[in-house]
């Protein structure tokens, strides 16, 4: 059996995203590498468990990465290799309950304005002002920008769901300047292979990393911080939780409710209630 092709086939049948394909295949390859290049069908379920113990005890990956590795190897063993008599059935460890890191409005402005070119500035501005995930950001098309209704359509975001989120006037102004300079024809941020292929998420990650370094700020773990800021700043501005849930694309309002705790944590230091749509 060509386990990679069969794994891809099974993932396609379940309509997994291309991102999940990449993560699951990488996890399978790392398991094989750990066992000196042996094929998955020659690695026992107990050996897979030993590999997970090794990752956990040696803190090779973060807890979230170990969780995705466990899910990938469950799919490999149970769904691809169909090892029904000896399944891989380990529960994910519970993640510690931590609050998302949030920057102030002025700190967000400082990072965005520190971008070293217009393209990267627009990327960061969109990620913040519309609450986009990094994969949603790079997959935006020109036709997803609805300037008449001041909305952005997110097509097939997380969990294969479409939704709309806000487009604020300053972002639209910057987008028009960006379009005049770069003239994208299909994807808003095309990749190196042409207009009909989106940029990789590495481009957005690089935009964040460069801007954050130039800003001099130490806070902010990654570009996803801007999405956390979007939700928290809207709550502080008085937008209701249900509206924020819809814009964020959360399946459950309990996921959105975590930002209530972040807001409570920061309210004492909040001098001004900010209208996010006029933050510039």
Task: Please name every residue paired with 259 in a beta bridge, in sequence order, or none if there are none.
Answer: none
The active-site residue out of 158, 170, 206, 266 is 158
Residue 131 three-state SS? coil
Based on the residue annotation, tell me whether 224 is a catalytic residue of this protein: yes
Whether the Cβ atoms of residue 276 and residue 233 lie closer than 8 Å to each other? yes
Helices of type H across 130-251: 134-138, 169-182, 201-215, 224-236, 241-248
Based on the residue annotation, tell me whether 158 is a catalytic residue of this protein: yes
The active-site residue out of 120, 163, 212, 227 is 227
Based on the residue annotation, tell me whether 133 is a catalytic residue of this protein: yes
The active-site residue out of 224, 266, 279, 280 is 224
Based on the residue annotation, tell me whether 250 is a catalytic residue of this protein: yes
Whether the Cβ atoms of residue 154 and residue 117 lie closer than 8 Å to each other? no
Dihedral of the alpha carbons of 124, 128, 134, 135, in degrees to the nearest 10: -110
Based on the residue annotation, tell me whether 212 is a catalytic residue of this protein: no
Task: Please name every residue paired with 180 in a beta bridge, in sequence order, or none if there are none.
Answer: none
Based on the residue annotation, tell me whether 170 is a catalytic residue of this protein: no
Question: Catalytic residue positions?
Answer: 133, 158, 224, 227, 250, 259
């Amino acid at each position: 059996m060509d386990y990679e092709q069969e794994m891809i086939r099974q993932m396609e049948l379940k309509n997994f995203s291309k991102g999940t394909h990449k993560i699951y295949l990488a996890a399978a390859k790392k398991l094989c590498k750990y066992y000196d290049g042996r094929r998955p069908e020659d690695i026992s379920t107990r050996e897979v468990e030993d590999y997970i113990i090794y990752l956990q005890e040696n803190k090779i990956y973060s807890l979230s990465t170990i969780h995705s590795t466990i899910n990938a190897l469950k799919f490999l063993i149970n769904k691809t290799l169909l090892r029904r008599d000896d399944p891989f059935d380990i529960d994910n460890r519970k993640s510690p309950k931590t609050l998302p890191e949030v920057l102030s409005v002025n700190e967000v402005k400082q990072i965005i304005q520190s971008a070293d070119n217009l393209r990267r500035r627009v990327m960061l501005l969109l990620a913040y002002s519309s609450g986009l995930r990094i994969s949603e950001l790079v997959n935006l098309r020109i036709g997803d920008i609805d300037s008449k209704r001041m909305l952005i359509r997110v097509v097939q975001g997380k969990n294969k769901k479409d939704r709309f989120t806000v487009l604020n006037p300053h972002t639209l102004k910057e987008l028009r300047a960006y379009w005049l300079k770069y003239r994208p024809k299909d994807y808003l941020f095309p990749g190196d292979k042409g207009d009909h292929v989106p940029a990789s998420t590495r481009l957005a990650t690089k935009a964040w990393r460069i801007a954050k370094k130039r800003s001099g700020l130490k806070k902010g773990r990654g570009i996803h911080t801007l999405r956390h800021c979007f939700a928290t700043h809207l709550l502080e501005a008085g937008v209701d939780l249900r509206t924020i849930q819809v814009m964020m694309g959360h399946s459950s309002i309990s996921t959105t409710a975590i930002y209530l705790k972040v807001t409570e944590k920061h309210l004492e230091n909040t001098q001004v209630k900010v209208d996010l749509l006029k933050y510039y």
